[in-house]
């Protein structure tokens, strides 16, 4: 979608409410409301699709201070459908913490039944094997990208998207921005 010559939420770089406000001459609140509606429509359109075939699945942390488990970080579950020429559909969900229940809910709502899901050997992700074919492998950080290459690329791209377009985001809006990225 393009407003005049201004790219909106379908642009690979996204757009902030402040930038939209300046380009179309509306208040920040109006621009923010427009973008929320566009993002919701994009998410609703993708919500009927279920990931299938080989799926790479991992958790990551967004925001806050540097380091795993640092204050202010939000946990995000990430699943990437693999295709012959790279990534297919992507699903990401912000969760309070990674429990077997959150993993089960994520898988149940976003993945077709009886698919193969590849994970690292994080113990909680064993919940995947309850409803799907589960391939897991303990990998040191230096070779983790070889076992789950696409999910690591998508996590990096998502973080660059958020930091590049919005220069960070508060946890209250994180899911909305992640939905736009997906």
Q: Which pLDDT belongs to residue 78?
A: 92
**CA gap 164, 100 in Å, rounded:** 33
Which of helix, strand or coil describes residue 121? coil
Predicted confidence (pLDDT) per residue in 92-114, tens digit? 888 888 888 988 888 887 887 78
**CA gap 166, 122 in Å, rounded:** 31
Which segments of the chain are extended strands (E)? 2-3, 6-7, 54-62, 74-83, 86-95, 116-120, 133-137
Comparing 29-38, 49-58, 89-98, 163-172, the range with the smallest average pLDDT is: 163-172
Task: Give 165's Cβ-side CA count (13 Å radius).
Answer: 23
Read off the tokens for 143.
């070779």
Highest mean pLDDT among 13-27, 128-142, 164-178: 128-142
**CA gap 43, 32 in Å, rounded:** 16
Q: Which pLDDT belongs to residue 77?
A: 93
**CA gap 75, 15 in Å, rounded:** 24
Average pLDDT over residues 14-26: 80
Predicted confidence (pLDDT) per residue in 125-165, tens digit? 888 888 888 888 888 878 878 888 888 888 888 888 887 76
**CA gap 75, 93 in Å, rounded:** 8
- Is the separation of the CB atoms in 63 and 48 below 8 Å? no
**CA gap 137, 38 in Å, rounded:** 39
User: 10 Å Cβ neighbour count for 115?
Assistant: 19
Q: How confident is the model at residue 2 (pLDDT cuts 50, 70, 90)?
A: very low
pLDDT at 16 over 80: no
**CA gap 105, 138 in Å, rounded:** 24
């Amino acid at each position: 979608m393009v407003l005049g010559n201004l790219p909106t939420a379908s642009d690979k770089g996204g757009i902030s409410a402040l930038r939209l406000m300046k380009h179309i001459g509306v208040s920040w609140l109006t621009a923010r409301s427009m973008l929320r509606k566009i993002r919701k429509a994009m998410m609703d359109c993708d919500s009927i699709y279920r990931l299938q075939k080989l799926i790479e699945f991992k958790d990551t942390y967004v925001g806050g201070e540097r380091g795993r488990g640092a204050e202010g970080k939000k946990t995000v579950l990430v699943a990437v459908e693999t295709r012959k020429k790279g990534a297919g559909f992507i699903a990401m969900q912000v969760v309070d913490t990674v429990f077997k229940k959150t993993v089960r809910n994520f898988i149940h709502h976003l993945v077709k039944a009886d698919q193969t899901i590849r994970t690292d050997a994080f113990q909680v992700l064993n919940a995947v094997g309850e409803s799907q074919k589960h391939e897991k492998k303990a990998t040191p950080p230096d070779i983790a990208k070889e076992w789950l290459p696409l999910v690591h690329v998508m996590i990096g791209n998502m973080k660059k998207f958020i930091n590049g377009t919005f220069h960070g985001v508060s946890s209250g809006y994180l899911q909305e921005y992640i939905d736009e990225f997906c």
